[in-house]
Amino acid sequence: MLASFTIGIAGHVDHGKTSLVKALTGWDTDRLAEEKRRGLTIEPGVAPLVLPNGRRVALMDVPGHKDFLKNTIRGLSSVQAAVLVVAADDGIMPQTLDHLEILHFMGAKTGMVVLSKADLVDEETLELAEMEVRDLIKGTFLDGCVVVPFSALQNRGLAQVLKELERLVDRVTVDFVHPIFRLWIDRVIQAAGFGTVVSGTVLCGALAEGDPVEILPTCAKATARFLEVHHERVPRVEPGMRAGINLRGVPFEAVAHGMALITPGYTSPAFYLNAQLEISRHAPKPLRNQARVKIHLGTGCHNALVVLMDQKSLNPGETGLVQLRMEKPVPALARDPFVMCSLDLEAVLGGGTVLEVSNQKFRERKATKILPFLECLLREDVSGATDMLFQRSGNRALTLQDMTRATGFSSRRIADHVNQACRQDRYVLLGQEFYLPKAAYRHLIRETFQALSAILAETPLKAAVTAQEIKHRVDAHLDDAVCAHVLDTLVQRGMVARTESGYRLPEKVTALPRRQQEIVQRILDYAHKLGWRTFAVGTFCDEHGERYSRPEVQKLVDYLTAQKTLVRLRDGRYMTRKALEQIKERVRDKILRDGSLTIADCSQLFGFGRTRGISILDYLDSIGMTMRVGDRRVLSDQYAQTFWNERRRRPNSSSSA
């Protein structure tokens, strides 16, 4: 059950919506001077209401005049239920029809009807008005709801309206789809001493003071400085609440209604929305392919081109699959409702639901890949939709959040399906959060093994391959955790061996051609002759009269380094592993004897100058043998502990240095 939610107060102009809200709450939602002067609502207004049972709701009073249809749709974009107000003396009027259609398309699930101005008619006329209303709402989300006669002047029916609102609240259920905070901005103000404050209805998730948010479609980042619900400061806002959010560091000019606040990184604005579109039964004519329209999504209004996917045209009352090609990117998500209007905003043409946020234009030749997925979404076929999603994703591993975002099925339904598929051995969990179908997992294992084998075959001197090299060969977009999981599986199966420098094939033995064997021996002879002195590849080539090319020598030196015969220091120079062990022994003995070692000591110990000494000691720091304290080196705690433990295990060892 929602802690709070928003009820739309809809109906034709001058049918008493604002008077009803004032009678219920004591609030006058017409706050603008122009509204006072003209005696009609121009901008949506919100009033808080505490019901007799203590439940809190917000009443959204929207304009009833056709000139402000855009504002009406914005106000009704986030309501969970509705009160349709019809004046008993006027009966059903044009905007009564429009508002009922808007509420239907925006996803209102329940509500009630108030027959206002009951004091102006006799009981017979009141009964006729109720019959007319019941004929209108038959087959709609209001079918079977209560119809309450009401008079603002006499307070007639006020108690019954409150009682029916309590019952209405208990009927509202919401299955939250996206597991993140989200809010469409419907009002922006500049508060003295605080800065930019935005308002809207929390659609899903929760937000606490200090939490980060992203403003879409601009992708600007902000922080929630403080939060309000009905002018009361709160530490946290939850779904259904009307929230005011002070955004730290965001200029007033940078935010407008129609934008969205969302948990950072969840989605990006998109130009293409694949959707189910229903044409209003009151539409003046059929909708043709590639018609240009206005799309009301959330609290924004956008120009768009409608591309029909499965029909040539849609007649009034018909439903079809379409792609909405937006003029500018919009922050939509799957399952978002929308309303479609003519370009002049004088008529509601239809509405529907976003099924998929896409990054590519619909083409007829791709229909066989796109339409079956959309049909699965329409049938609420979670299993079929997720299987197709994996196929369309190139068998890339997906998280529960990826699947929820792409399909619009609730995270709870997705999790239930995926867990069952794992128990049936249809899906495989990789690491902590990624999933793949079993067949795709086997394919990925084969591709990873083949990639490793291919890299080693292309570079015979390469002793091991890093995970990143393998990943980029298989799929550059592959998640690191997925790649690591697959490599671990190959290691566990004995197909791949893990080394300090990467991965290799267990049976891989590099047989060098005779010429390369000759060069390797020359390099080793040269390195052994230098002893503690280091060398560079260029120096070796220069001293051998450029008999060997530098690239070839570099490859062989890398090979010897991977074989742990040579050691590469941080300055790019090399020495033999044997020479390094001798240096380590001297450094250790010096520190154990004198307590520390400096760069100057290297000259006496090894005959090094300052530059070579720094390179050696930096290397010893990097492998965790020594650590720098000021201008001196001491043995690291870990190395010292290991050294003393080994000495104690040796026979006839002394306990003192």
pLDDT in tens, 231-266: 889 999 998 889 999 999 899 999 999 999 999 999
- What is the spatial distance between Cα 220 and Cα 259, in angstroms, rounded to a whole number? 11
Question: Does residue 632 carry a pLDDT above 50?
Answer: yes
Given 334, 362, 390, the domain boundary residue is 362
Cα–Cα distance measured from residue 93 to residue 87, given in angstroms and rounded to the nearest whole number = 9
The number of distinct structural domains making up the chain is 6
- In angstroms, the Cα distances linking 81 to 21, 98, 301 are 15, 16, 22
Q: Is the peptide bond before 217 cis (omega within 30 degrees of 0)?
A: yes
pLDDT at 655 (0 to 100): 40
Domain for residue 530, yes or no? yes
> pLDDT for 341-368, tens place per residue?
999 877 899 999 999 999 899 988 888 8
Q: Residue 656: is its pLDDT beyond 50? A: no
Same domain, 489 and 562: no
> Coil, strand or helix: which one is 505?
coil
| 589/557 same-domain check | no
Q: Give a yes or no: residue 41 inside a domain.
A: yes
Range of the domain at 215: 182-262
589 with 570, same domain?
A: no
Per-residue pLDDT band at 280 (split at 50, 70, 90): very high
Q: Are residues 233 and 308 in the same domain?
A: no
Q: Residue 378: pLDDT above 60?
A: yes
- Residue 316 pLDDT exceeds 90: yes
Same domain, 192 and 341: no
Final residue of a structural domain among 171, 197, 229: 171
Q: Which contacts (CB < 8 Å, 24+ apart) does range 362-368 have? A: 362/272, 362/274, 362/307, 362/309, 362/323, 367/309, 367/310
Q: Check whether 508 has a pLDDT greater than 60.
A: no
Check pLDDT > 80 for residue 562. no
Q: Kindly state whether residue 655 falls inside one of the protein's structural domains.
A: no
**Residue 656 lies inside a defined structural domain of this protein:** no
Phi, psi of 274 (to 5 degrees): -85, 130
Given a cut of 90, is residue 220 above it in pLDDT?
yes
Are residue 285 and residue 302 in the same domain, yes or no? Answer: yes
Tokens representing 447 are 């591709």
Residue 133 and residue 93 share a domain: yes
Does the residue 328 lie in any domain?
A: yes
DSSP letters for 291-360: EEEEEEETTEEEEEEEEESS-SEE-TT-EEEEEEEEEEEE---TT-EEEEE-TTS-SEEEEEEEEEEESS
Beta bridge partners of 204: 182
CB 141 within 8 A of CB 109: yes
| Gap between the Cα atoms of 96 and 84, Å rounded | 8
Judged on CB neighbours under 10 Å (0-12, 13-18, 19+), 21 is: buried
Q: Residue 448: which residues within 8 A CB-CB, separation 6 or more?
A: 470, 474, 483, 486, 487, 490
177 in any annotated domain: no
CATH number for the domain spanning 561: value is: 1.10.10
What per-residue confidence (pLDDT) applies to 657?
37
